[in-house]
Structure 1
Amino acid sequence: MSGLRFLLVQILRFGLYVGVHVLLISRLVLFDLGWCFFYLGFLLFLPIGTPIVVQLLLSFGLGLTVDIFYDTGGLHAAAAVLLGFLRPWVLRLLTPRDGYDSADSVNVHQMGWQWFGVYLALLVMLHHAAFFLLELGSFRHLGLTMGKMLVSALFTSLALLIVQLLFFPVRRGRN
């Protein structure tokens, strides 16, 4: 029954992240330069033990869902699949000395500020680079695109950090 419960929780999280992004967050723009890709929280905060095939399928489904709402022709799907592909590599790169517990999830309180900051910054910046470079289609206005990447990455990272601090448990239960 725990597998069914896990599946239901993930479906609820998917709907919540997409719903909040589409209905609220997508309307927030910083100086016509920065957008918050709030829906990335669903992928970034998946349990660490999630198999890569599942991550890639979820990434594609999430990106395609957002693409349908914004008529962006696969931009979100492509960038989200890249994020889903790179996430295990980044997790492996940041593996603590004792390794991860099988029940661990990405959590600033459990992993620490430094680990979480590097994890979030690296993956969000890679996603945004892919998204904005695909959107641009060339290197013609690279300066403006780099500005969009940086401001949007900071905006998205700050929003996802706030979500972590407000809604994720402070510490693991002790036995």
Structure 2
Amino acid sequence: MNSSFGLRNIAQFFVFVALQILLMDSLVLFSTGFCFIYIAFLLFLPLVISRVWLLVLGFVVGFTVDIFYDTMGIHAAASVLLAFLRPLLLNLLTPRDGYDSGDAVNIHTMGWRWFLAYTFTLVLVHHTAVFFLETISLQSAVYTMVKILLSTLFTSIVMVILQLLFFSAKRERIDYR
């Protein structure tokens, strides 16, 4: 892997975590819709990445958010779950011709349908884990489900906006020399 690959992902890590801590913490819809933008770091990683490295990155990004939110590992657990399920979902969503070895997750490259299925599914899993670990009770299951659905929609819309604004329309490839 070349150094620009690593530098770009390190920069994305800091940008997404900083956005989460500084901006998204106070941006809540109707007291139930939360935007966890930091998971975009995991979702936008290249398609071909080691599973172990992906799990480690999931733990690091989740634990970093846990430190600032004082949530005792809830985000770390949900992020590791997302990192664990990401390769499985990528296998399910594999196009007929397969992925190119240098493809990155990009709405322009993969298409709207693929990107929305990928993003919505993983965001839903992550948010379900976060909110049920937070309550650890089924007493308020209806309220928790509303939080999960509204937060999933909110986060997914923000991810699509990020893709359209900041990721190039040309085929984004990563050089593995």
- TM-score norm. by structure 2 comes to 0.95
Task: Give the alignment of 1:78-89 within 5 angstroms.
Answer: 78-89=77-88
- Amino acid corresponding to residue 78 of structure 2 in structure 1: A
Matches of 1:13 and 1:96 in 2, distance apart?
26
Check if 1:54 corresponds to 2:53.
yes
Please list the CA deviations of residues 40-76 of structure 1 after superposition, one character each: whole Å capped at 9, or x if unmatched. 1100000001111111000000000000001000000
Report the counterpart of residue 38 of structure 1 in structure 2.
Answer: 37
Matches of 1:38 and 1:32 in 2, distance apart?
17
Q: Percent identical across equivalent pairs?
A: 53
3-state DSSP of counterpart to 1:101: coil
Q: How many residues are paired up?
A: 172
- Amino acid corresponding to residue 127 of structure 1 in structure 2: H
Matches of 1:115 and 1:160 in 2, distance apart?
14
Matches of 1:121 and 1:12 in 2, distance apart?
24
Measured after TM superposition, the shift of residue 4 of structure 1 is 2.4
Matches of 1:33 and 1:20 in 2, distance apart?
19
Report the counterpart of residue 109 of structure 2 in structure 1.
Answer: 110
Report the counterpart of residue 165 of structure 1 in structure 2.
Answer: 164
Measured after TM superposition, the shift of residue 166 of structure 1 is 0.3
Structure 1 outlier segments of 4+, above 3 Å: none
Long gaps (5+) in structure 1 = none
3-state DSSP of counterpart to 1:32: coil
Report the counterpart of residue 99 of structure 1 in structure 2.
Answer: 98
Task: Give the alignment of 1:8-157 within 5 angstroms.
Answer: 8-157=7-156
Higher relative contact order (CA 8 A, sep 6+): 2
- Amino acid corresponding to residue 77 of structure 2 in structure 1: A
Measured after TM superposition, the shift of residue 5 of structure 1 is 2.3
Matches of 1:165 and 1:28 in 2, distance apart?
21
Matches of 2:115 and 2:12 in 1, distance apart?
20
Matches of 1:159 and 1:26 in 2, distance apart?
14
Matches of 2:2 and 2:53 in 1, distance apart?
14
- Amino acid corresponding to residue 143 of structure 2 in structure 1: L
Please list the CA deviations of residues 116-143 of structure 1 after superposition, one character each: whole Å capped at 9, or x if unmatched. 1110110000111111111110111000
Matches of 2:163 and 2:81 in 1, distance apart?
23
Measured after TM superposition, the shift of residue 109 of structure 1 is 0.6
Matches of 2:171 and 2:36 in 1, distance apart?
28
